[in-house]
Amino acid sequence: MTANLRVMIATDQIAARVQQLAQQIDAHYAPRQTASETATNDAHCETNTTAEKLVVVGLLRGSVMFLADLCRAMHHPHEIDFMTVSSYGNQTISSGEVKVVKDLDSSIAGKHVLIVEDIIDTGHTLNNVLQLLHTREPLSISLCCLINKPSRRQVQVNVQFKGFDIADRFIVGYGLDYAEQYRHLPYIAELQLD
Ligand code: IMP
Ligand code: MG
């Protein structure tokens, strides 16, 4: 069996999109002032210091490259935590079953949560993670994924921040793997096995 790689999203395209996503995320979480706070701040030239906490949750292992670049491009203060849920294993098709292998280290109660994922395919992974995290009383949960395969969706998932829509192709690189290989590639490539 031979593996062919065809570059689909180049390194500089990824970097540019990550910057844009970070700006959108910063804008989304920028402290919103009430009318009375705005009036007070106008009078005293102060900014609101009561910002709510944000925790960025990376789904291991595919999101690590993306999360590392995204967090460094963000200005909004945040914690970082990680979770491992089961995914495809060494297959290129989804099982539709997801279980928590490694849970978060910290509580998300009373915090805003931004889940960062490498790719959304059938939607089962994020749907399950969302359902679980909603039970822990966060202030809000938003989703950010680098790659979206809309034609493969089996469950509806609302993704607020999306990097790239792609067709139904199996891709590797920039964190994404096939049988734990290719995660280190600095670009995203389509993998074809002959
Ligand atoms: P979903 O549960 O079907 O949405 O699958 C999400 C997970 O499947 C991702 O976190 C990846 O681990 C894996 N996955 C889906 N498509 C690909 C791909 O094209 N390349 C590598 N991994 C993929
Ligand atoms: Mg994954």
Residue 29: helix, strand or coil by DSSP?
helix
Reply yes or no on whether the pLDDT at 139 is more than 50.
yes
Residue 121 appears among annotated catalytic residues: yes
Cβ–ligand 1 distance for 84 under 6 Å, the answer no
Q: Which of 42, 121, 165, 168 is catalytic?
A: 121
Which atom of ligand 1 has the smallest separation from the CA of 178?
Answer: 21
Sign of the CA dihedral running 171, 177, 181, 186: positive
Residue with tokens 């031979």: 2
Alpha carbons 39 and 33: distance in angstroms, whole number: 9
Residue 96 clears pLDDT 60, i.e. is over it: no
Residue 194 has what pLDDT? 84
125 CA: nearest ligand 1 atom? 2
On whether the pTM is more than 0.85, the answer is yes
**Binding site membership of 85 for ligand 1 (Cβ less than 6 Å):** no
Cβ of 171 closer than 6 Å to ligand 1, yes or no, is: yes
* The pLDDT value given to residue 11: 98
